[in-house]
Amino acid sequence: MNIDALIRKCRHCKEPAGSTGRCVKHNEAHKADQRRRIAERKAAGLCQCGREPIAELTLCLVCQSRNKSIQLRKRATGSCLRCAVGNKAVAAGMCRKCWFKKVASDGLKQRGQAMRVAADMLELLWEKQRGLCALTGESLIMGESASIDHIVPQSRGGDHSADNLQWVSLRVNQAKNNLTQDEFIALCGRVVSHKEKV
């Protein structure tokens, strides 16, 4: 049997293709073309499919209905609500990858490729800490008690580098506020020392 006959070929260049029927190069070009068309339609005030949107919404009735049924199906099966892969939801209706992307986007204000790189860095940091709070050692729960903390706060000149980030409990992060880690630990020490005297 000829193995080459079993390999799916790109419909444009006959290179090996994935499930889309396109090679990597042509698939990226197709995605870029789709993004361009959607952007043009949005700029023209249309839904992403080209229809007139419902008043005060960006989607038409058909796309809104389709999105609602997709979300209901994903909730019913416990799948991630954000990605199309169908991964199992583990945190706030999101799979692990999407949750790290959300933290990179919301917590670190990263977008595009920088967001994906930051999400990978956050996941590695999570693995390094074994899902434990860096300051208390308690187990963290994705989407509930886990929070990303800047060791040196941004307001004090801290950056988003891996050396300046750590996973901590949400309560700890709220208590730490804009203190550096050393200042926060010293404050906690003073509280403990005072309570022991009383």
> Residue 84: how many CB atoms within 10 A of its CB?
9
CA distance 185 to 179: 9
CA distance 79 to 123: 20
Whether the CB-CB separation of 23 and 12 falls below 8 Å is answered with yes
> What does pTM read for this prediction?
0.65
Closest CA to 122 of 144, 139, 105, 141: 105
For residue 139, give the DSSP letter.
B
Which pLDDT value is given to residue 6? 60
Which pLDDT value is given to residue 3? 56
| pLDDT < 50 stretches in the chain | 1
What does CATH list as the number for 111-198?
1.10.30
- Rounded to 10°, the helix 112-129/96-106 angle is 110
CA distance 156 to 183: 12
Q: Quick check: helix, strand or coil at residue 103?
A: helix
- Domain map (residue ranges) of the chain: 111-198
**Phi-psi domain of 125 (left: phi exceeds 0; alpha: psi -120 through 50; beta: other):** alpha
The type of residue at 56 is E
CA distance 12 to 23: 8
